[in-house]
Amino acid sequence: MALPKRVLIREVGPRDGLQNESAWLDTNEKRAWIDLLAASRLPYIEVTSFVHPKWVPALKDAKQLAQSLNKKDDTTYAALIPNEKGLAHFFEANLDVGAMFISSSETHNKKNMNQSIHETLPVIKQMTADLKAEGRNTRAYISTVFGCPYEKQVSMDQVLRLTDILLSYGIDEISLGDTIGEAHPLQVERRLDILLERFPADKIALHFHDTKGMGLANIYTALKAGITIFDSSSGGLGGCPYAPGSSGNVATEDVVHMLQKLGIETNIDLPALIKAAEWIETKVERTLPSHCLRAFHSHTT
Amino acid sequence: MALPKRVLIREVGPRDGLQNESAWLDTNEKRAWIDLLAASRLPYIEVTSFVHPKWVPALKDAKQLAQSLNKKDDTTYAALIPNEKGLAHFFEANLDVGAMFISSSETHNKKNMNQSIHETLPVIKQMTADLKAEGRNTRAYISTVFGCPYEKQVSMDQVLRLTDILLSYGIDEISLGDTIGEAHPLQVERRLDILLERFPADKIALHFHDTKGMGLANIYTALKAGITIFDSSSGGLGGCPYAPGSSGNVATEDVVHMLQKLGIETNIDLPALIKAAEWIETKVERTLPSHCLRAFHSHTT
């Protein structure tokens, strides 16, 4: 299959990256970083999660941050919403896209949401209805799609079933997550073969981690299957802080650089993106795993 | 095209890795590392380069090292031979495979070999004849095949011409190098389409760097085109020591791990390979860019 002409990048660094970092940024610092990301013309930035600070203390300023953003017209500002309480904060902050979360592994969902998949689904259904009633766009993450730390394999039937249910709620976009960085390109090929027979490609985003170095191999494979939406994180932020140098989310710079090489349009300013990654690297005070951050930095110093 | 059943890995760390590192290892340390690599059942290890110590001081003990290896029967020990003087040392050390070098970019060849491509070819021709007369296997690197730091693009005609000439000398295997880590999977696909129409896949190895994170994407693409021989470096050693964290050669652990995931046989012991990479990381005293070194290390500590 031919490569797509255009791709949309969903920047998840300020939410998915920071929630996994040991370094804490204050609200002004987060806002400054989000401004740098928006300046690179990223079309979507997930700025925070309206989760209880007991669970993710690094994002305890979610409301203050979301209410004080310097919003740009051509950027979509999103936040993760775990429950109805978070939804109220989301509406107060007046963000554009509400992202919800479920796991395709029962054990992983229990550990993350403290409830079963069966219990999570109606919560998502209600929040989706509320979000749509207010004219907001919606997104849902399905995690552990390519492997689970507890249950190992996750069946394709389960992934299809959940995708089907979530789309039936009217959710605009489903992001399938390789939560533990276990996906390999042959698996991606096989799972997408089945998935895209049933669902349109423009409803499906993929969320890869670069833990074993296969992030871009998986994205290239997905591009060839027709996927045009990918999640990534500035600098490759995220991952396990207790394993120095371990890679979390695939780095936005690496994805955008490869897309440019492939002649695929993203409308993103790569040098500006590198600047944003350089900035956050100084704040988290560790060498981030992004390849292009290193490669391009070495040319300029 | 279906994926191949078996792949051969050419470990180039002790030569291509160490020649680019600022840390120097003594002969005993190099031998100990090579022993660890051989213990992981790597089928080919390029142990050094018989280059003048003025050019690569880190490999100045080439002769002592090559003559004092603890050779294992099922490992092939190779060395780079830049000229007839190096060839004499190679024969004295009684190694198995002689590897030679040429660039597909005229400027890059001049900078590296201090002679034109036209002048390098007869030297390789004579060395190949000498090696074959002594019953040795031969390998030639063609560098800058996917891009050159001086001439940018290198024409496919030039790559085909050099491959053709080198194979006509009777060289057993040609390794095409992405010297500056610029190759992207679409380019790999296109170049291999042309190349494999003309030459058998079992004569062609690919040598990728992971500078921009596309190492495994390029290897997966090449596997699908039918390539079954890949160069890599333990720990991802190599690259530019002046750019901390920058990735050099694609890491052997990352390649072998992906091949295992894809169900492709290498006969290599991955945990033993990780041990070898952990060992060399302590010697070079910097965090190596290998993804699997980090990922698996974090599970065991």
* B190 in contact with A, Cβ within 8 Å: no
* B292 in contact with A, Cβ within 8 Å: yes
Name the token pair of B218: 């390029």
- pLDDT above 50 (res B300): no
Contact A246 B211 (CB under 8 A): no
pLDDT in tens, chain A (301 residues): 799 999 999 999 999 999 888 788 999 999 999 999 999 999 999 999 999 988 888 999 999 999 999 999 999 999 999 999 999 999 999 999 999 999 999 999 998 889 999 999 999 999 999 999 999 999 999 999 998 888 888 899 999 999 999 999 999 999 999 988 889 999 999 999 999 999 999 999 999 999 999 999 999 999 999 999 999 999 999 865 444 444 689 999 999 999 999 999 999 999 999 999 999 999 998 889 999 998 887 444 3
Closest CA relative to residue B299, chosen from B279, B261, B276, B271: B271
Contact B298 A242 (CB under 8 A): yes
Point out the catalytic residue in the list A240, A243, A262, A295: A240
| Cα–Cα separations (whole angstroms), residue B176 to A37, B147, B157, B208, B222 | 38, 11, 14, 8, 12
Domain locations in chain B as residue ranges: 8-300
Point out the catalytic residue in the list B129, B240, B243, B295: B240
* A231 in contact with B, Cβ within 8 Å: no
Closest CA relative to residue B255, chosen from A7, A33, A142, B247: B247
User: Is the separation of the CB atoms in B167 and B122 below 8 Å?
Assistant: no
Q: How far is B244 from chain A (nearest CA, A)?
A: 7
Distance CA B87, CA A10 (A): 55
* A219 in contact with B, Cβ within 8 Å: yes
**Terminal-residue alpha carbon distance, chain A:** 40
Tell me the pairing of strands A173-177 and B8-11: unpaired
- pLDDT above 60 (res B245): no
Mean pLDDT of B134-147: 95
3-state secondary structure of B50: coil
Contact A258 B184 (CB under 8 A): yes
Query: What pLDDT, in 10s, does the model give residues B197-216?
Result: 999 999 999 999 999 999 99
Residue B285: what pLDDT?
87
* A217 in contact with B, Cβ within 8 Å: yes
Contact A246 B216 (CB under 8 A): no
Distance CA A68, CA B111 (A): 55
Name the token pair of B293: 């070194």
* A186 in contact with B, Cβ within 8 Å: yes
* CA A226 to chain centroid: 19
* A200 in contact with B, Cβ within 8 Å: no
Distance CA A180, CA A217 (A): 16
Contact A213 B216 (CB under 8 A): yes
Q: Which of A214, A246, A260 to mutate to test the interface with B (most CBs of B within 10 A)?
A: A214
* CA A142 to chain centroid: 11
Residue B205 main-chain phi, psi, to 5 deg = -110, 155
Q: A240 an active-site residue?
A: yes
Query: What pLDDT, in 10s, does the model give residues B59-88?
Result: 999 999 999 999 999 999 999 999 999 999
Nearest chain B residue to A257 by CA: give it.
B212
Sign of the torsion formed by the C-alpha atoms of B148, B154, B156 and B162: negative
Q: Which amino acid is at B174?
A: I
Mean pLDDT of B84-98: 96
* B245 in contact with A, Cβ within 8 Å: yes
A185 contacts in B (CB within 8 Å)? 217, 220, 258, 262
Closest CA relative to residue B101, chosen from B80, B87, B85: B80
Contact B215 A215 (CB under 8 A): no
For residue B283, the tally of other CB atoms under 10 A from its CB is 18
Q: How far is B278 from chain A (nearest CA, A)?
A: 14
Q: Which fold has domain A8-300?
A: TIM Barrel (3.20.20)
Residue A247: what pLDDT?
63
The DSSP symbol for B181 reads: S
B295 contacts in A (CB within 8 Å)? 181, 211-212, 243, 246-247
* B241 in contact with A, Cβ within 8 Å: no
Name the β-bridge partners of A102.
A142
State the DSSP string of B71-113: --TT-EEEEE--SHHHHHHHHHHT-SEEEEEEESSHHHHHHHH
Residue B176: what pLDDT?
97
Closest CA relative to residue A69, chosen from A35, A29, A98, A120: A35
Contact B213 A263 (CB under 8 A): no
Residue B148: what pLDDT?
86
A290 contacts in B (CB within 8 Å)? 213
The minimal CB distance from A254 to the residues B3, B212, B261 is found for B212
User: Is the separation of the CB atoms in A38 and A6 below 8 Å?
Assistant: no
Helical H runs in chain B? 27-39, 62-67, 84-93, 106-113, 117-133, 156-168, 185-198, 215-225, 252-261, 270-284, 291-300
A243 contacts in B (CB within 8 Å)? 294-295, 297-298
Residue A299: what pLDDT?
45
Nearest chain A residue to B186 by CA: give it.
A262
**Terminal-residue alpha carbon distance, chain B:** 40
| Cα–Cα separations (whole angstroms), residue A71 to A12, A74, A95, B115, B251 | 16, 9, 10, 58, 42
**Angle formed by the axes of helices A215-225 and A185-198, to 10°?**
30
| Cα–Cα separations (whole angstroms), residue B267 to A115, A185, B123, B272 | 44, 21, 36, 12
Name the token pair of B256: 């072998």
Contact B213 A254 (CB under 8 A): yes
CB burial of residue B54 (10 Å; 0-12, 13-18, 19+): exposed
Residue B247: what pLDDT?
63
Q: Collect all residues with Cβ–Cβ distance below 8 Å to A200 and sequence separation of at least 6.
A: none
* B260 in contact with A, Cβ within 8 Å: no
- pLDDT above 70 (res B244): no
Query: What pLDDT, in 10s, does the model give residues B252-261?
Result: 999 999 999 9
Name the token pair of B159: 């790559």
What string of H, E and C letters represents the secondary structure of chain A?
Answer: CCCCCECEEEECHHHHHHHHCCCCCCHHHHHHHHHHHHHCCCCEEEEEECCCCCCCHHHCCHHHHHHCCCCCCCCEEEEECCCHHHHHHHHHHCCCEEEEEEECCHHHHHHHHCCCHHHHHHHHHHHHHHHHHCCCEEEEEEECCCCECCCECCCHHHHHHHHHHHHHCCCCEEEEECCCCCCCHHHHHHHHHHHHHHCCHHHEEEECECCCCCHHHHHHHHHHHCCCEEEEEHHHCCCCCCCCCCCCECEHHHHHHHHHHCCCECCCCHHHHHHHHHHHHHHHCCCCCCHHHHHHHHHHC
Residue A239: what pLDDT?
67
User: Is the separation of the CB atoms in A134 and A165 below 8 Å?
Assistant: no
User: Is the separation of the CB atoms in B261 and A186 below 8 Å?
Assistant: yes
Name the token pair of A20: 């996994």
* B242 in contact with A, Cβ within 8 Å: yes
Return the H-helix or E-strand segment holding B229.
strand B229-232
Residue B240: what pLDDT?
55
For residue A73, the tally of other CB atoms under 10 A from its CB is 4
Residue A160: what pLDDT?
97
User: Is the separation of the CB atoms in A42 and A75 below 8 Å?
Assistant: yes
The minimal CB distance from B210 to the residues A184, A212, A291 is found for A291
Query: What pLDDT, in 10s, does the model give residues B2-47?
Result: 999 999 999 999 999 998 887 889 999 999 999 999 999 999 999 9
| Cα–Cα separations (whole angstroms), residue A201 to A175, A220, A266, B69, B222 | 11, 15, 17, 55, 26
Contact B298 A184 (CB under 8 A): no
Name the token pair of A72: 């740009």
- Residue bearing the bigger pLDDT, B247 or A248: A248
